Chain A
Amino acid sequence: MQLGSLRLQRLPSAHPGIAFAARAAAILIALLVAGVGVAISGMNPFELGGRVISASFGSSFGIEDLCVLVIPLILTGLAVAVGQQIGIWNIGAEGQFYAGAFAASAVGLFVPGPQWMVLILMFGAGFVGGMVWILVPTLARAYANVNELITTLLLNFVATLLVYYVSTGPWRDRSGMANSATPPLSAEVPSFWGIVHWGFPIAIGLAILVAAALAYSRWGYEVRLVGSNPSAARYVGIPVRKHLITVMLLSGGIAGLAGMLEIAGTVHRLQGGISNSFGYLGIMVAVLARGSPIGVIFSGALMAFILNSGIILQTQGLTTSVVLAITGFILFLTAIGDELSYYRVTRERA
C-alpha cells in the first residue's frame, strides 16, 4: 500500500513491542469508552474510578479479594494459552471449569476420610473432570478433524445445566434455607493470608511449570513446532495427533482444576453460577498474554482487577455484564492491534 512517499509493508511476523503497545492502547481506549458511557448515564466516572481504586488497593481486604479472583483467571487463561501453543482454540474452559467443580464436589460430598486424603482426591477429580469434558472434542479434532471451537463451546451449556441440576436437585442442601446449593464440602484448601488460599501459589506455580515445560522440554519444543507449522512437524516425524490429544487434555484438566480450586478454596460448596464467566474471560487473559503461560499471570491479574471493579460497582447499579461487554471491546481492539503490528512504515527511495 502506498501513501505518498510512505509505503506500508506487511512483515511476516508481528513486532512484539507494537503488539504490546496495541494491548495497552486497547485497554485504555476501552476504559475511556466505558468512562464516557458512565458519564452519559449521569454518574461521575472519576468518582467511581476513585472508589474502585480505594476499594481494590486501599485495604488488605481489597487485595485479598483480587488475589482470590486471580486464581481461576490465571488457570482458565493458562488452559486457553496451552491450547494456543499447538493451534487449538479451547473456548470450552467455562464448561471444563464446571465439570472440574462438579467432579471435585462429588468427592468432597461423598468420599469419607481424613481431610488431606479427600483434598488430594478432589485435586485429582477436578483435573480429570475437566479432561473428561474436553475428551469428545479432542478425539473429534484428532481423528475426524472436527473444529474444536464449536464442540468445546457447546459443552459449556451442558456443564452449566448439569451443575445447576445437581445443586438444586439430588445434591441440594436439605438442612438449611439455601436450597440452590450443596452442603459445605468436607475438605477445603487452607488459606494462608486472610481469605487467600493455597490455590494462589498453585496457579502461579502451574503457569511457571507449563512455561518451563514448553520452553525447555522436548515435548514443549515439538508442541510449539506443531503449533507454528503442522505439516512441517508431520514431515519430520513428530507425532502430531498424540501431541494434539495430550495438549487438549492438559488444557481441559487445567480449566477443571480452576473449578476445583474455586469450590474447594473460595466458595466451599457447589452451586449454579459459581463461575463469573471465568472460562470466557480466560480467553481474554490468554489473548492479552499472546498465548504465553508466563504472560497469563500478569494478564490474569489485570483481568482480575477489571472483573473486581465490576463487582465493586455492582452496588452503584452496574452489573458484571458490563465487564463482559468491556472485555469484548478490549478483545476486539486487541485483534485489530495485533494485525496492525505486522505492518511497518518505510520511506520509498526515489
Chain B
Amino acid sequence: MDVLTGLLTTAFLAGGVLALAALGEVLAERVGVVNLGVEGLMALGAVTGIATVTAVPSPMLGFLAALAVGALFGMVFALATVFLRANQVLCGLALTLTGTGLAATIGRNYSGMPAPVTFEPVQVPLLSSIPIIGPAFFSQNILVYLIYLVLPIFFSYLMFSTRHGLNMRAVGENPAAADAAGIPVNLFRFSYVTIGSALGAGAGAYLTLAFVPSWSDGVVAGRGWIAVALVIFAGYRPIMATLSGLLFGLITALGFIGQARGWPVAPAFLSMLPYLGTVAFIIVPVLAWQKMRRAMAAPAALAQPYFRDMR
C-alpha cells in the first residue's frame, strides 16, 4: 500500500515531464512538422525556469518565462522549416545542439544549486482523501493537474471535435487539399509548432521547478528524445501521449524504488530502463498490432514541406 502510493506519486511526478513534452510534439506533428529540437527546447526551458526563479521567487513566473523562450525558439524553427521549407530533421538537430549548448553555457552559474522556490503540492479537497490515488494524484503540484487533465482533454477536444481540429489534421494529412479548401496551411503549421515548442520548454521548467528540482548540465538526459518517441507510441493522440508519459513515469519510478531499496542491480542499469523501454515500445507495437497500423499511422505529410506551386 505504502509502496504503491509512493510508486504512483513518483510516477505522476516523473511522467509529467514526458507527458507535457510529448503533447507539444503531438501538436507539431499533427500539422505535419517533426520537431527534433525538443531535447534542446527542454534544456532551454529548464535553465530559463531556474534563472527566473533565482531573480524573482515565483515558480509560475519561471514556468511562463520558459514557455515564452520555447515559443521564441519555436518561431525561429518554424520560420525556417515552414516558410523557408528547410529540412526539418536538420533544423531539429540544430535546435537540439544549440539549445543544449546554450543552456549548459547559461546554466553554469546555477549548476548544482537547488531551486530557491518550487511548485508546492496542492491538496485537492475531498479527492485527496481517496485511498492510494488520493495521495498519489490529488496531492500534487498544480502543474500536474494542468498536464494530466486540462491540457490533454482540451487539445483532444480541439483536435477531434471541432472544425478547427479537422482543419489542423487536414494540414498534416494533405496540405494541398487543405490549401485548396482555403485553410492557411503555413499559418497552421507555424502556430502549432510554436505552441508545441512552448510546451516542450515548459516541460524543461517542470523538470527544474517541480521534479528534480535543480539545474545541472545534462539534467534533461534524453527526455526530449523519449518524448519524441512517445508520440509515435501514442499514435499522435493527445490523451494517449499523456498516458504514455505516465507509463514512462512508472518505469522511472520503478528505477528510483529499486535504488532506494537497494535492489542488487547497479543504479546505472536502472537508469538505462527508460531508454531501453522506449526503444522496445516503438518497435514492439509495430510487430504486435499489425491491424492497428492504420489507426496509429503518422500524418501522411509528416516532415514534408509544402510547396503550393509544385504538386
Q: What 0/1 readout, one digit per residue, does chain A (141-171) give for beta carbons within 8 Å of chain B?
A: 0001111011101111110011011000100
Q: Is the CB of B275 within 8 A of A155?
A: yes
A283 at the interface (CB under 8 A from B): yes
- Chain A min CB distance to B44 (Å): 11
B221 at the interface (CB under 8 A from A): yes
Q: A283-B93, A335-B80 are in contact. Are A324 and B221 (CB under 8 A)?
A: no
B217 at the interface (CB under 8 A from A): yes
Which of A156, A169, A322 is in CB contact (< 8 Å) with B105?
A322
Q: Is the CB of A332 within 8 A of B98?
A: yes
A336 at the interface (CB under 8 A from B): yes
Contacts of B36 in A (CB 8 A): 149
Q: Is the CB of B232 within 8 A of A147?
A: yes
| A interface majority secondary structure | helix
Contacts of A155 in B (CB 8 A): 275, 279
Which chain B residues (255-310) contact chain A, with CB distance < 8 Å?
266, 268-269, 271-272, 275-276, 278-279, 282-283, 286-287, 305, 307, 309-310
Which of B90, B100, B222, B275 is in CB contact (< 8 Å) with A335?
B90
- Chain B min CB distance to A106 (Å): 17
Contacts of A157 in B (CB 8 A): 221-222, 272, 275
- Chain A min CB distance to B277 (Å): 9
A280 at the interface (CB under 8 A from B): yes
Q: At the interface with chain A, which of B64-72, B159-167, B202-210, B223-231? A: B223-231
| Number of cross-chain contacts by CB at 8 Å | 135
Contacts of B94 in A (CB 8 A): 328-329, 331-332, 335
Q: Is the CB of B286 within 8 A of A287?
A: no
A325 at the interface (CB under 8 A from B): yes
Q: Is the CB of A332 within 8 A of B95?
A: yes
List the interface of chain B (C-beta within 8 A of A): 36, 40, 80, 84-87, 89-91, 93-102, 104-105, 108, 217, 221-222, 225-226, 228-229, 232, 266, 268-269, 271-272, 275-276, 278-279, 282-283, 286-287, 305, 307, 309-310
Q: A136-B283, A153-B225, A323-B101 are in contact. List 5 more A-B contacts (CB 8 A).
A: A150-B232, A154-B275, A319-B105, A321-B102, A336-B80
What 10 pairs between A and B have smallest CB-CB spacing? A328-B97, A325-B101, A328-B98, A324-B101, A321-B104, A165-B268, A332-B94, A335-B90, A331-B94, A335-B86
Can you spell out 30 A-B residue pairs with CB atoms less than 8 angstroms apart?
A: A140-B283, A147-B232, A150-B282, A153-B225, A157-B221, A158-B272, A158-B275, A161-B269, A162-B272, A164-B268, A165-B266, A169-B266, A319-B108, A321-B102, A321-B217, A324-B97, A324-B98, A325-B97, A325-B100, A325-B102, A326-B101, A327-B101, A328-B97, A329-B98, A331-B93, A332-B94, A332-B95, A335-B80, A335-B87, A336-B86
